[in-house]
Structure 1
Amino acid sequence: MDYYGFWQMLLEEMKAAPKSAQRHIVTFNDPRMYAGALSQWKSLKTKKPGLRQVQVSALIQAFFVPAAGAGKLMDRYADSLCIEEDHRIQVHSALADPSGPSMMPWGVKAIRAPQAWSRSTGVHVKIGVIDTGVDFRHPDLKHTLASGVNLLNRGMMPLDDNGHGTHIAGTLAAAGGTRSMMGVAPRALLYPVKAFDHNGSAYVSDIVLGIDWCVQNKVDIINMSFGMRNRSKALHDVVIKAYRAGIAIIASSGNDGKRGGDYPARYPETIAVGALDRRQRIAAFSNRGPYIDVYGPGEGIPSCWLREGYKEMSGTSMATSHVTGAAALLLALRPGLSPRELKLLLRRTASPVRLRKGQRRASLGGGAADALRLLRVGIRARRSSGGAGSGGSSDGSGVAKAAAAKA
C-alpha cells in the first residue's frame, strides 16, 4: 500500500472540505497496514501541519479525521479500509430545579449506601468519569478527584463548563461530611475524562479516546452517562477491549421513555442502567426493556454543581452514577471481580421495582439497585468460592461513619 499517497489524499480532502463536514473513523482491515500508516503519519505530521488534526487510538488501531474524503478513500482503498461516520453523542439528563446542599440525597439513601459504609466506602477504587469535566474547586469533591484528562484541549485540566459531569461526580463520591452532601462511594477516586463540550455534546471518537485513556490508566470502573441511537463499530470495539481488560463499563439507557435504548448501554459488555422515581417505579422518561441490567434513582436528584453550588437533575445519567457508586463499594472489597461477575451480582441483588398500570415485570429487565444487599451477597460469594481474605474487613472512614449516623 502507498501510505504516503494515502495521507496525501486524505490531507487534500481535509483541506477541501468545509469546516462543518462530517468527521470519520478510519480503520484498516490488516493490522500491518495500520502500523505502516501510523509510521508514515508520524513522519509526515511535522512537515504537513494539517495532519496534526488527526488523532489516533492505539487500543482499536483507528485514525480519527476531521473531514475524511470517504468516497475517494473507499474508491482507492476499498479492500483495505473500514470507514464509519463519527456520530455525535449526548449526555443523558434534563436540567431541573436549583437546589441547596443536601447532606444525604434521597437516591443515596434509597439504594441503602449509608448502611453499607460500615463495610465499604469505596476506598482506592478508581472510577473513570467520561463526561463534561468536573468543578475541581467544589468543597465536596476536592478529596476525591485525581487529575484526569481533557481530550478537547490536552494542555488544560478537565474543568467542567456544563455542570453535568460535576453532578455525576457528586453522586458518585462527594465527601462533604457533616457540612454538606455525601455521594454513594465517598472514598473512591474519580478520574475526570473531559470528552463533552459545554453543550454536553461529543463525537464517538472522543469517547473512544476516553475509554482508551481509562484502559491505559488502569481504572476499575468507567461511568458513561450518555448515549446515542446509532450503532458504532469503533465504539463497540473499544468497549470490548475495556471489558477484556477487566474494566466494568456502566452506561445510561436514555431518556426517551421507550422500550429499547441507546448505545453504548445496549452492548452486551456494558451494564445498562434505567431510572427510578421516588416511589421506586420506573421513571416516565426512562428507557426500559429486558436489556436493562439494573435501575437506579434518577428523578429530582440533588448533587454538586458549578461554582461550588448544587442543583437537582433528572435522567438515566443520574441513575447510572448511583449504580457505579454501588459497584465501587463492592470492588473495594473484591478488587478482582470481573465485569461479568459484577453485572450478575447487580442483577441478582436488585429489588423488585413497583409496576405502573399495564407493565409486566418480565418486560422491564432488572430491578432496583441495592448497595447493602450487593455487598452482603458479594462477600458471601467470595467466601463460598474460597477467595482470599474473609471479606468482612472494613474500609470505612470517620467521615463516612458520621454521615451514616445522620442518614
Structure 2
Amino acid sequence: MDYTGFLHQLVEGMQRPEPEQGRRYLIRFAKPKQYEACLVELSRMRNEFTDLGAVRSCRLARSIIAPVHDPEELYRYSDDITVEEDASISLHATALHSKPSSVQGVPWGVKQIRAPKVWSVSTGHRIKIGVIDTGADYQHPDLRYSLARGINLLNRSLLPHDDNGHGTHIAGTIAAANSTAGMIGVAPRSLIYPVKAFDHNGSAFVSDIVLGIDWCVRNRVDIINMSFGMKTRSKALLDVVNRAYQAGIVIVASSGNDGKRRSIDYPARYPQTISVGATDKNRRIASFSNRGVFVDVYAPGDKIVSSWVQGKHHEMSGTSMATSHVSGAIALLLAKHPGLSPAEIKTLVKRATVPLRARKTTTAKSKIRGGEIDALKLMQEGGG
C-alpha cells in the first residue's frame, strides 16, 4: 500500500474549502502491519503538513480518524482499508426533572436492588470502572474519594471535568460515598475513571467512543459503563467492543429510551455487552424503556436522584440511570470474585434477578421477559 500517497490524498481533501470537508471518517486497516506502517508515515509527514494534526489514531481498532472530503477517492485502497462515516451518538437520559437541593443516605434505586445488604461482604473496593460520558465533577462532596484521573478526549490537557451533569449523575449512582451529608452509591469503594467523550450538549461521535474504549483497555479497567446509544450499527464500534470483551472487561450498556418492544440501540444490542432496561419504584418496566428479547436485565431508572455538577443533586430518568445500577452491582461481585469472565458475569446477572410486575395494560398473553437486578442474589449466585 502506498501510505505516502494515501496520506497526501487525505491532506488534499482537508485543504479543500468545500463545506463537506468537516465530515469525519473512521478508516480501519485490514492488517496490523499496515496500520503500524501508516502510523510511521503519518508521524513523518506531520512535520511537513500541519493539517495532519486533525488525524487521530486508535490502536485497538487499527483505525485512523480523519476528515475526508470524498470517501470514494479512497476506494483504490479498498483491499487494505474500510471507510466508515463517523456517526453521532446520544446519551440515554430523558428530560431533567426537579432538582432537590440535597439528598441524604441511600437512594431508592440502590435500596431496591438490595446493594446495602451486600456491603458487609463487598463495597466494590478497588474495582476500576470506566464511565464513558460527559466527565465528572471532581469537587463534588459525594465523589471526593471515588474519582481517578481519567481522560478528557475533547481536550487531553485537561481533567475530564463535567460541563453537562450526566456523567456526574452516573458516577454518583455507581460510587458516591458521602454518608454524612450526601448520598451513597451501589459500590461506594469502587473507583470511577471518567472518560469524557461527550461535550457540554451531550453530543459525541463513534470515534470518541472508540478512543474511549481504547483508553479503558490500555488502562485495564474492570467494567465500562456506556449510558448512550445509536440506532445504526457500526463495524468500528463492534470491533473495539469485541476487543475490550476479549481483554476481560465487562461492558454494561443502556438499551435506549424509545419504549420499543423488539429493538434496542447499539452498542447494547451487541452480544458482548450486558444490555439494561429501566424499571420504576413498583418494579414495572418504565414506559420510556426499550424492552424485549435483546434486554438482558432491568434496573431502577425512573426518577433517580444522584450527584450533579456544582456539588448539587438532580433527579433524572432513563436507561442511562438503570445502567449505572447494574455497573455498581457487578463491581460488588468482582471485588469478591475477581476471576470471573465477562461471559460468566453476564450469565450470573441474567440469573440473579427478581420478577418484574406487569402493567395493568399488559395482556396475559404478552409475557414479561427478564427481571430486575438483585445485588444480594448476584453475590450469592457468584458463590459468596
TM over 0.5: yes
Q: Distance in 2 between matches of 1:361 and 1:54?
A: 54
Task: Tell me which residue corresponds to 1:371.
Answer: 375
Deviations 1:250-295 (A, max 9, x none): 0000000112110000000000000001110000000011111110
C-alpha spacing 1:149/1:360, structure 2 compared with 1 (3 Å):
farther
Contact 1:105-1:182 within 8 A present in 2 as well: yes
Indicate yes or no: 2:256 matched with 1:231.
no
Q: Distance in 2 between matches of 1:264 and 1:363?
A: 26
SS in 1 for 2:51: helix
SS in 2 for 1:368: strand
Q: Which moved more, 1:187-196 or 1:362-371?
A: 362-371
C-alpha spacing 1:45/1:362, structure 2 compared with 1 (3 Å):
farther
Q: Distance in 2 between matches of 1:82 and 1:365?
A: 38
Contact 1:254-1:286 within 8 A present in 2 as well: yes
1:164 shift after superposition: 0.1
Indicate yes or no: 2:78 matched with 1:78.
yes
Q: Distance in 2 between matches of 1:349 and 1:309?
A: 33
Contact 1:151-1:193 within 8 A present in 2 as well: yes
C-alpha spacing 1:325/1:277, structure 2 compared with 1 (3 Å):
same
Letter in 1 for 2:224: I
Task: Tell me which residue corresponds to 1:105.
Answer: 107
Contact 1:290-1:363 within 8 A present in 2 as well: no
Task: Tell me which residue corresponds to 1:318.
Answer: 321
SS in 1 for 2:362: coil
Task: Tell me which residue corresponds to 1:213.
Answer: 215
Q: Distance in 2 between matches of 1:293 and 1:250?
A: 10
Task: Tell me which residue corresponds to 2:24.
Answer: 23
Letter in 2 for 1:133: G
Task: Tell me which residue corresponds to 1:340.
Answer: 343
Letter in 2 for 1:375: M
Task: Tell me which residue corresponds to 2:120.
Answer: 118
Q: Distance in 2 between matches of 1:147 and 1:67?
A: 33
TM-score (ref. length: structure 2):
0.96
Contact 1:149-1:193 within 8 A present in 2 as well: yes
Give the superposed CA RMSD: 1.4
Q: Which moved more, 1:9-18 or 1:357-366?
A: 357-366
Q: Distance in 2 between matches of 1:62 and 1:328?
A: 31
Q: Within 5 Å, which residues of 2 pair with 1:356-395?
A: 356=359, 357-358=361-362, 364-379=368-383, 391=384
Contact 2:13-2:21 within 8 A present in 1 as well: no
Contact 1:299-1:314 within 8 A present in 2 as well: yes
1:362 shift after superposition: 7.5
TM-score (ref. length: structure 1):
0.91
Q: Distance in 2 between matches of 1:127 and 1:50?
A: 35
1:133 shift after superposition: 0.2
Q: Distance in 2 between matches of 1:126 and 1:161?
A: 23
Structure 2 stretches lacking a partner, 5+ long:
none
Deviations 1:101-122 (A, max 9, x none): 2321110000001111111100
Q: Which moved more, 1:187-196 or 1:37-46?
A: 37-46
Task: Tell me which residue corresponds to 2:67.
Answer: 66
Q: Within 5 Å, which residues of 2 pair with 1:140-155?
A: 140-155=142-157
Q: Distance in 1 between matches of 2:323 and 2:15?
A: 41
Q: Which moved more, 1:11-20 or 1:259-268?
A: 11-20
Task: Tell me which residue corresponds to 1:55.
Answer: 56
Q: Within 5 Å, which residues of 2 pair with 1:244-323?
A: 244-259=246-261, 260-323=263-326
Letter in 2 for 1:43: R
Letter in 1 for 2:27: V
Q: Distance in 2 between matches of 1:352 and 1:276?
A: 11
Contact 1:169-1:190 within 8 A present in 2 as well: yes
1:361 shift after superposition: 8.8
Structure 1 stretches lacking a partner, 5+ long:
380-390, 392-407
SS in 1 for 2:22: coil
Contact 1:14-1:69 within 8 A present in 2 as well: no
Letter in 2 for 1:89: I
Q: Distance in 2 between matches of 1:108 and 1:262?
A: 25
C-alpha spacing 1:120/1:362, structure 2 compared with 1 (3 Å):
farther
C-alpha spacing 1:366/1:20, structure 2 compared with 1 (3 Å):
farther
Contact 1:291-1:365 within 8 A present in 2 as well: no
Contact 2:255-2:275 within 8 A present in 1 as well: yes
1:32 shift after superposition: 2.7
SS in 1 for 2:131: strand
SS in 2 for 1:285: coil
SS in 2 for 1:328: helix
Letter in 1 for 2:380: R
1:68 shift after superposition: 4.9
Contact 2:356-2:368 within 8 A present in 1 as well: no
Indicate yes or no: 2:326 matched with 1:327.
no
Q: How many percent identity over aligned positions?
A: 56
Q: Distance in 2 between matches of 1:206 and 1:361?
A: 43
Contact 2:21-2:69 within 8 A present in 1 as well: no
C-alpha spacing 1:362/1:173, structure 2 compared with 1 (3 Å):
farther
Contact 1:122-1:328 within 8 A present in 2 as well: yes
1:144 shift after superposition: 0.7
Task: Tell me which residue corresponds to 1:12.
Answer: 12
Indicate yes or no: 2:180 matched with 1:178.
yes
Letter in 2 for 1:87: A
| Count of aligned residue pairs for this structure pair | 379
Task: Tell me which residue corresponds to 2:204.
Answer: 202
SS in 1 for 2:346: helix
Q: Distance in 2 between matches of 1:320 and 1:287?
A: 13
